[in-house]
Amino acid sequence: MGPGAAARYGHWVTESEWAALPEDLDERRLAEVLTGMGIETKPSTLQKWRQRGGGPPWWRMFGRAYYTRDKLRAWLEAQQKVATTRPRRARGEQT
């Protein structure tokens, strides 16, 4: 992933780490992965995100929610925020 969203949360996720993840993760495993990246997450948080909208894209099979590795990565990268305000000037600073 390089210096993307996961790096922003304090953990560099390398390509080999991504490749080592299963293609589809259940909510327990995804919570572990996100927590390992510094995004403290519990399975109950993922459940709330699904109910309220938000969180990574998911799909359901046999009554269980799953998350696809590639969609998770895209979601993490989309979470990066860019400052929308200008930095404040120091007192007396000219423009």
Mean pLDDT of 4-16: 59
Decide: helix, strand or coil at residue 2.
Answer: coil
Residue 86 has pLDDT above 60, yes or no: yes
Q: Supply φ then ψ for residue 52, to 5 degrees.
A: -95, -10
Residue 60 has pLDDT above 50, yes or no: yes
Of residues 12 and 46, more confidence is placed in 46
Q: What angle do CA 72, 74, 76 make, to 5 degrees?
A: 70
Whole-number pLDDT of residue 37: 84
Q: Among residues 72, 76, 79, which one has the least CA distance to residue 23? A: 72
Whole-number pLDDT of residue 13: 72
| pTM attached to this predicted model | 0.71
